[in-house]
Amino acid sequence: MKLHQLSLFLENKPRQLRVPSKVLAAAGVDILTLALADTQQFGILRLIVQDWEKARQVLEQAGCVVNVTEVVAIEVPDRPGGLDQILAVVEEADLNIEYMYSFTFHRGDRAILVIRFEDGDAAIAALQANGINVIESVELFKQAKA
Amino acid sequence: MICSQSHESWNDLPGGFHPASTPDYLPLPQLRDLQLRRLQATVRRAYDHVELFRTRMRERGITADDVRGLEDVARLPFMDKLDLRDTYPFGLFASPMSEIVRLHASSGTTGKPIVVAYTSEDLHVWASVMVRTFAACGLHRGDIVQNAYGYGLFTGGLGAHYGAEALGATVIPISGGNSARQIMVMKDFGVTAICSTPSYFLHLIEQAESMGMPLRDLPLRAGIFGAEPWTEAMRQRIEDAAGIKAYDIYGLSEIIGPGVASACCAQHGLHIFEDHFLPEIVDPVTGQVRPDGTAGELVLTTLSKRAMPIIRYRTHDITSIVTEPCPCGRTIRRIHRIGHRTDDMLIIRGVNVFPSQIEEALLAVEGTLPHYQIILTREKGLDQMEVQVEVTSEVFSDKIRSLENLQNALSHSIERTLNIRARVRLVEPQTIERSAGKAKRVIDKRELS
């Protein structure tokens, strides 16, 4: 129901992103999506990958600090008002969003929102009660992407 | 005696060393009498053979005969590191080279190194105080000791080596460096005790984690750590992280090397082997002797060194002598852990700051973080202090807010402790330089005139 997201601590300076990217490439880990949050001093790279356990292992071996969090991925129609429809449910259920990122596909008419809720279980219940499609596994995530 | 349990095992070991047979437990009158006789002999020896000492005694109008009681040590002139530099290389030797069997030297980061010398009797004393050190740390025959102090001119490696051998332990003379090999040896040889600097051992804890063999899963049970100042909070953090007992030892090459003082099972202060090294605490500015229990600069006089008797040596280490008797039963006095040195004091915006205070402030924040470095710069005439702290998986969260909270908590903790503001910067793991020897805690980029 919830997906495992890997978060990496990065210092905010040139070439830092290349380290995890190289490690994942060498291990043949498929990155499904990512987002980079930054502050003046440091950044957090958030990743959803095909095999999160393997990814965590190789990243930690390479000396990265990795945190695993559960996030909720939901499918939304890729049209005006798509996001607002979701946020209406979130507001109605009084859910707190820590952060989110989204992306669309090259074909098709859907987008995916990845959201870190303060209370993931409550969020899933509320979203599903309102007929919103919560992506249940990385595999389905991939199919949606294809 | 709270050590009694560990003592029982001594009796089962034929030929094993029993710590209760050492001068650690001498009745005080007997100890003071021994100290006085040795002090008189040392002063006589230095007066007869060391020109610098004789000249200074004459300037004060005193001779070796004026030492009639232990308190007369306060009448003798001080020595400090400069004297060793000025007489480089052999000017303070009291023995002819034909009797000197070993030379060591300091790393000499500033100018000429200092040279220290040992006769074979001196080496015997050195090994005996290291045996007493290891015994106080609960080691015995049958222990497998990985000696990760550097071998060479530095006194740490060979000092610990011969002491552990004389104890009857099995010594692995691995020296410092090559952390992956250190962990492999520790595991494959079933190492039970390690000697290193505390900062290098922290590095080994991480190395072991990354190799998938955390130290707490290995037979290692004791660490004998010295050669750099560290805090009690750091000691406890090491014990928790590695599942070992961490013991603090103290020594300096000028006096003998490691083996001047050692923690015991009570883990409260370090016993000075005062039958060989007479401690005093003095006011660092005036040089006036301070009573036991008062903080000040530690001054040491060697009582049995032959090749190079050192009288009233200014160590620059700040501590105090513990006044209560130790629950372990040793009669030799203890000094409190050396938190800082008079010469590692930083003056930041007019405030006196010791790196150890910053370490304590960092460790006061939950879940942090022993790897840090202090970087001092000057911007528009004003000192700026940045403290870089490595992020670990225990404290890392995927939320920026949590990391910013951590930064703020660290920075407030420093401000509370020191009353000055510091910029805390979180950095990636393994980005602060690790050394196999003493940690470099401060990078001062200010151009001080």
Indicate if A55 and A93 belong to the same structural domain. no
CA–CA separation, B92 vs B310, rounded Å? 9
Q: Which of A118-127, B6-15, B110-119, B434-443 has the largest mean confidence? A: A118-127
Q: Which tops the pLDDT comparison, B119 or B348?
A: B119
- State which residue of chain A sits closest to B407, comparing Cα positions: A41
Indicate if A87 and A121 belong to the same structural domain. yes
Looking at the complex, report in whole angstroms how far the Cα of residue B149 sits from the nearest Cα belonging to chain A.
26
Do A11 and B427 lie within an 8 Å CB cutoff? yes
Indicate if A80 and A133 belong to the same structural domain. yes
Q: Is the pLDDT of residue B57 over 50?
A: yes
Do B428 and A65 lie within an 8 Å CB cutoff? yes
Q: Is the pLDDT of residue B102 over 90?
A: yes
User: Structurally, how many domains does chain A consist of?
Assistant: 2
Give contacts of B398 with chain A, Cβ < 8 Å.
Answer: 5, 7, 44, 46, 67, 69, 116
Do A64 and B210 lie within an 8 Å CB cutoff? no
Q: Percent of chain B at pLDDT above 70?
A: 92
Q: Is the pLDDT of residue B157 over 50?
A: yes
Best B211, B398, B434 member to test A by mutation, with max A CBs in 10 Å, is B398
CA–CA separation, B250 vs B130, rounded Å? 11
Q: Is the pLDDT of residue B436 over 80?
A: no
Do B400 and A60 lie within an 8 Å CB cutoff? no
pLDDT in tens, A74-97: 988 888 998 899 999 999 999 999
Indicate if A105 and A41 belong to the same structural domain. no
- State which residue of chain A sits closest to B393, comparing Cα positions: A65
* CB-based contacts of A114, cutoff 8 Å, min separation 6: A3, A5, A33, A35, A48, A71, A72, A73, A100, A101, A102
Tell me, what's the pLDDT at A32?
87
Indicate if A13 and A63 belong to the same structural domain. yes
Indicate if A37 and A92 belong to the same structural domain. no
Point out the residue among B396, B398, B426 whose CB comes nearest to the CB of A41: B426
Give the confidence band of B4 by pLDDT, cuts at 50, 70, 90: very low
Give contacts of A17 with chain B, Cβ < 8 Å.
Answer: none
Instruction: Kindly provide the residue ranges of all beta strands, DSSP E only, lying in B283-369, ordered along the sequence.
Output: 289-290, 296-302, 313-319, 334-335, 340-341, 346-348, 351-353
Q: Is the pLDDT of residue B310 over 70?
A: yes
Q: Is the pLDDT of residue B110 over 70?
A: no
Q: Percent of chain B at pLDDT above 90?
A: 66
Residue A125's domain is classified under what CATH number?
3.30.70.260
Which of B163, B151, B220, B225 is closest to B189 using CA atoms? Answer: B220
Tell me, what's the pLDDT at B399?
85
Q: Give ∠ CA B317-B320-B323 in degrees, rounded to 5.
A: 155
Q: Is A9 on the interface with B (CB under 8 A)?
A: yes
Point out the residue among A9, A69, A98 whose CB comes nearest to the CB of B428: A9
B102-116, B254-268, B291-305: least confidently modelled range: B102-116
Alpha carbon B155 to chain centroid, angstroms: 12
Question: Of A44, A69, A94, which one is at a domain's C-terminal end?
Answer: A69
Q: Is the pLDDT of residue B312 over 60?
A: yes
Residue A19's domain is classified under what CATH number?
3.30.2130.10
Point out the residue among A16, A42, A63 whose CB comes nearest to the CB of B426: A42
pLDDT in tens, B231-268: 898 899 899 999 999 999 999 999 999 999 999 999 99
Q: List chain A residues with pLDDT less than 70.
A: 1, 105-108, 138-146
Give contacts of A16 with chain B, Cβ < 8 Å.
Answer: 428
- State which residue of chain B sits closest to A57, comparing Cα positions: B210
Interface ipTM? 0.78
Indicate if A48 and A85 belong to the same structural domain. no
pLDDT in tens, B167-195: 999 999 999 989 999 999 999 999 999 99
Give the confidence band of B315 by pLDDT, cuts at 50, 70, 90: very high
Q: Is A70 on the interface with B (CB under 8 A)?
A: no
What range defines the domain where residue A91 resides?
70-145
Indicate if A104 and A77 belong to the same structural domain. yes
Indicate if A83 and A25 belong to the same structural domain. no
pLDDT in tens, B388-435: 998 887 788 888 888 888 899 999 999 988 888 899 999 988 888 877
Q: Is B448 on the interface with A (CB under 8 A)?
A: no
- What DSSP line would sit under B33-87, residue for residue? HHHHHHHHHHHHHHHHH-HHHHHHHHHTT--GGG--SGGGGGGSPPB-HHHHHHT
Chain A (74-103) residues lying within 8 Å, Cβ to Cβ, of chain B: 98-99
Do A16 and B428 lie within an 8 Å CB cutoff? yes
Give contacts of B426 with chain A, Cβ < 8 Å.
Answer: 9, 11, 41-42
Q: Is B285 on the interface with A (CB under 8 A)?
A: no
Tell me, what's the pLDDT at A53?
94
Best B426, B428, B434 member to test A by mutation, with max A CBs in 10 Å, is B428
Which of A89, A81, A134 is closest to A112 using CA atoms? Answer: A134
Looking at the complex, report in whole angstroms how far the Cα of residue A78 sits from the nearest Cα belonging to chain B.
28
Averaged pLDDT for residues B356-365:
86
Q: Please check whether the two domains, B4-29+116-342 and B345-444, share a CATH topology.
A: no
Tell me, what's the pLDDT at B8?
42
Which CATH architecture best describes the domain B345-444?
2-Layer Sandwich (3.30)
Q: Is A34 on the interface with B (CB under 8 A)?
A: no
Tell me, what's the pLDDT at B347?
82
Point out the residue among A10, A11, A61 whose CB comes nearest to the CB of B210: A61
Give the confidence band of B15 by pLDDT, cuts at 50, 70, 90: very low
Do B398 and A41 lie within an 8 Å CB cutoff? no
Could you say which DSSP state residue A62 is in? Answer: T
Beta bridge partners of B383: B378
Give contacts of B210 with chain A, Cβ < 8 Å.
Answer: 60-61, 63
Cis peptide upstream of residue B14 (ω within 30 degrees of 0)? no
A99-113, B137-151, B351-365, B419-433: least confidently modelled range: A99-113
Tell me, what's the pLDDT at B428?
87
Which of B1, B20, B2 is closest to B10 using CA atoms? Answer: B20
Q: Is B388 on the interface with A (CB under 8 A)?
A: no
Beta bridge partners of B426: B389
Q: Which tops the pLDDT comparison, B374 or A142?
A: B374
Question: Of A69, A103, A125, which one is at a domain's C-terminal end?
Answer: A69
Q: Is the pLDDT of residue B12 over 60?
A: no
Q: How many CB pairs under 8 A join A and B?
A: 54
- What's the mean per-residue pLDDT of chain B? 89
Q: Is A40 on the interface with B (CB under 8 A)?
A: no
Q: What is the CATH number of domain B4-29+116-342?
A: 3.40.50.12780
Could you say which DSSP state residue B446 is in? Answer: S
Tell me, what's the pLDDT at B278?
98
Tell me, what's the pLDDT at B13?
46
Indicate if A10 and A75 belong to the same structural domain. no
Indicate if A35 and A90 belong to the same structural domain. no
Indicate if A58 and A81 belong to the same structural domain. no
Instruction: End-to-end CA distance of chain A: give it in Å, rounded.
Output: 20
Q: Is B429 on the interface with A (CB under 8 A)?
A: yes
Looking at the complex, report in whole angstroms how far the Cα of residue A22 sits from the nearest Cα belonging to chain B.
17
Do B391 and A65 lie within an 8 Å CB cutoff? yes
Do A42 and B397 lie within an 8 Å CB cutoff? no
